[in-house]
Amino acid sequence: DAGVTQSPTHLIKTRGQHVTLRCSPISGHKSVSWYQQVLGQGPQFIFQYYEKEERGRGNFPDRFSARQFPNYSSELNVNALLLGDSALYLCASSLVTGASTDTQYFGPGTRLTVL
Amino acid sequence: GQNIDQPTEMTATEGAIVQINCTYQTSGFNGLFWYQQHAGEAPTFLSYNVLDGLEEKGRFSSFLSRSKGYSYLLLKELQMKDSASYLCAVRDWRRDDKIIFGKGTRLHILP
């Protein structure tokens, strides 16, 4: 079975531009979470979606938005890019949300560089 | 609020044993995870603890004490490929079961 997939793997943008990152969860997983990881830090939670509805949002500005599609894949959108948005963006999928034994499995990430 | 603390860096020798500690403060503890992350790669799941005690999985073991807000990851028979960052993460039921990560411990293995 394929794991979590993300595209693109690398991306270079300039300040003020917009970016869309994509994620496909493990087959059968219905929950997708997005994380931002800057160098030397742990992943920071951005969003969680379950059954196409937002179930949680981290402390990120409104420039960050996301959605989940009927096939459970997800997009993360970032508008008006800033230099500080340069990071590894990780997508994690899990079977359900809220179950105490539920484990998140991460995709390979998208490395975003903002110049 | 929530706070997760783990050492920034550790060094150990190939073949030895190392213990990476993690302390946390959360009002809605609902499980603790350990992930391994090699440089430039995504985190990979190592272990999950929700009840007190030791969970053993091959060379890796994870321990949890909920009353002390404390966990450790024990790595035995260290191999060079174990050089990586180890992330402690806590699920918080008071925050919609969000998983909050610590900053990670960078482990260096010396030959």
| pLDDT (mean) for B82-91 | 96
**What pLDDT does B2 receive?**
61
Best interface-test mutation with B: which of A21, A59, A91, A106 has the largest number of B CBs within 10 A? A106
A92: its two tokens? 């994690």
Q: Smallest CA–CA separation between B80 and chain A, in Å? A: 21
**What pLDDT does A103 receive?**
83
Interface check B18 vs A, CB under 8 A: no
**What pLDDT does A61 receive?**
96
User: Which residues in chain B touch residue A56, judged by CB atoms under 8 angstroms apart?
Assistant: 95-98
**Cβ contact A55:B96 at 8 Å:** yes
Q: How far is CA A70 from each of CA A55, A62, A65, A73, B89, rounded to the nearest angstrom?
A: 16, 24, 17, 7, 29
Comparing C-alpha atoms, which of A27, A80, A72, A81 is closest to residue A48? A72
Q: What is the pLDDT of residues B21-40, one digit of tens each?
A: 999 998 889 899 999 999 98
Confidence of residue A1 (pLDDT cuts 50, 70, 90): low
Interface check B94 vs A, CB under 8 A: no
User: Which residues in chain A touch residue B47, judged by CB atoms under 8 angstroms apart?
Assistant: none
Q: What is the pLDDT of residues A11-66, one digit of tens each?
A: 999 999 999 999 999 998 999 999 999 988 999 999 999 888 998 899 999 999 99
Residue with tokens 């949300």: A97
Percent of chain A with pLDDT over 90: 77
